[in-house]
């Protein structure tokens, strides 16, 4: 993204050209050909800033809020994304991940509104932690949902106390957001990172399965095996890696999790 031109947009009012104020966000990076963060081929925007401290995080360099990354306008991001539109096919589009995208609602809403005006599929990858039904967040979030086609919804742990251990924060409002998305019928893919000695216990998987079954908007359930590919970033930042010595789950445990979460029962994503 280095070298993107900063263009200030104009519109006409009573025949006169007037400068508009660009909506600016802070992002960490982008990926041009993402294939695992939503349907089809995606242009992925990784926002800067997150309040969670997930022990398995592979992007701890996105944590800082208000610094790090770079500032961009929504027009700059959209113009860059559209360069790759010919590769997206019928189901591709733009995914905004993080960091935590919901910390930048104005930026996200403006980007998605402009994307929908161009017929582009929009997806948010979120853990849901910023969600609240209190104002002003709730009204702004409702506005965002008008321009959002899909959410990749990460449930890190179904147990609140274990969620605090794994991420430093509780999960009450995360589960509340999942319920709200079900209420409004917004399609979601539920994602769950399987971490040995943390979330890979049948008791927790069965509880998570029971919760997912209360939702009526789940198109897909994904089990994501924990990996250590981002550990080097912790080392570079001078941070102690909290899962030191814990290996990725064995294939049989991944298969067990998929069975307990009934992932094969959620196939609506294939027909959208």
215 forms bridges with which residues in the sheet? none
Q: Is 3 inside any structural domain?
A: no
- Stretch 36-65: mean pLDDT: 97
- Stretch 27-46: mean pLDDT: 97
Q: Is 10 inside any structural domain?
A: no
Per residue in 63-104, pLDDT tens?
A: 999 999 999 999 999 999 999 999 999 999 999 999 999 999
Q: In this predicted structure, what is the pLDDT of residue 270? A: 85
Q: In this predicted structure, what is the pLDDT of residue 150? A: 99
CATH of the domain at 150: 3.20.20.70
Q: In this predicted structure, what is the pLDDT of residue 271? A: 84
Q: Is a pLDDT exceeding 70 seen at residue 166?
A: yes
Q: Is 6 inside any structural domain?
A: no
Q: Is 86 inside any structural domain?
A: yes
Is the bond leading into 67 cis (omega within 30 degrees of zero)? no
Q: Is a pLDDT exceeding 50 seen at residue 13?
A: no
- Average pLDDT score, the chain: 94
Is the bond leading into 239 cis (omega within 30 degrees of zero)? no
- Stretch 15-35: mean pLDDT: 85
- Stretch 139-160: mean pLDDT: 99
Q: Is a pLDDT exceeding 70 seen at residue 6?
A: no
Count CA atoms closer than 13 A to 230's CA, side-chain side.
Answer: 15
Q: Quote the number of domains for the chain.
A: 1
Range of the domain at 143: 21-271
- Stretch 36-59: mean pLDDT: 97
Q: Is 200 inside any structural domain?
A: yes
Q: Is 262 inside any structural domain?
A: yes
Q: In this predicted structure, what is the pLDDT of residue 16? A: 55
Q: Is a pLDDT exceeding 90 seen at residue 213?
A: yes
Strand, coil or helix: what is 263? helix
Q: In this predicted structure, what is the pLDDT of residue 19? A: 59
Q: E strand or H helix at 205, and its extent?
A: helix 202-212
Q: Is a pLDDT exceeding 50 seen at residue 215?
A: yes
Q: Is a pLDDT exceeding 50 seen at residue 3?
A: no
Q: Is 12 inside any structural domain?
A: no
Closest CA to 191 of 97, 105, 114: 97
Q: Is a pLDDT exceeding 50 seen at residue 8?
A: no
What are the residues whose beta carbons fall under 8 Å from the beta carbon of 166, sequence distance 6 or more?
Answer: 54, 55, 56, 156, 157, 195, 198, 199
Q: Is 25 inside any structural domain?
A: yes
- Stretch 267-272: mean pLDDT: 87
| Cα–Cα distance measured from residue 188 to residue 203, given in angstroms and rounded to the nearest whole number | 24
């Amino acid at each position: 993204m280095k070298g993107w031109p900063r263009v200030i947009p104009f519109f006409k009012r009573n025949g006169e050209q007037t400068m508009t104020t660009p909506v600016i966000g802070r992002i960490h990076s982008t990926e041009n050909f993402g294939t695992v963060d939503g349907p089809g081929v995606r242009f992925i925007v990784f926002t800067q800033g997150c309040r969670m401290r997930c022990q398995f995080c592979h992007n701890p360099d996105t944590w800082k809020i208000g610094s790090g990354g770079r500032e961009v306008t929504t027009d700059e991001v959209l113009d860059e994304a559209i360069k790759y539109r010919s590769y997206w096919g019928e189901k591709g589009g733009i995914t905004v991940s993080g960091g935590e995208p919901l910390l930048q609602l104005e930026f996200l809403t403006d980007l998605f509104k402009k994307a929908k005006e161009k017929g582009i599929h929009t997806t948010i990858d979120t853990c849901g932690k910023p969600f609240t039904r209190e104002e002003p967040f709730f009204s702004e979030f409702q506005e965002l949902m008008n321009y959002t086609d899909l959410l990749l919804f990460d449930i890190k742990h179904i147990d609140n106390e274990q969620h605090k251990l794994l991420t430093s924060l509780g999960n009450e409002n995360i589960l509340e957001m999942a319920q709200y998305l079900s209420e409004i019928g917004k399609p979601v893919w539920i994602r769950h990172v399987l971490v040995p000695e943390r979330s890979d216990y049948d008791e927790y998987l069965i509880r998570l399965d029971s919760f997912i079954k209360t939702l009526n908007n789940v198109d897909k359930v994904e089990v994501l095996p924990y990996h250590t590919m981002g550990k080097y970033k912790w080392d570079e930042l001078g941070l102690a890696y909290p899962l030191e010595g814990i290996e990725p789950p064995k294939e049989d445990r991944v298969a067990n999790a998929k069975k307990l979460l009934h992932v094969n029962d959620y196939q609506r994503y294939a027909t959208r």
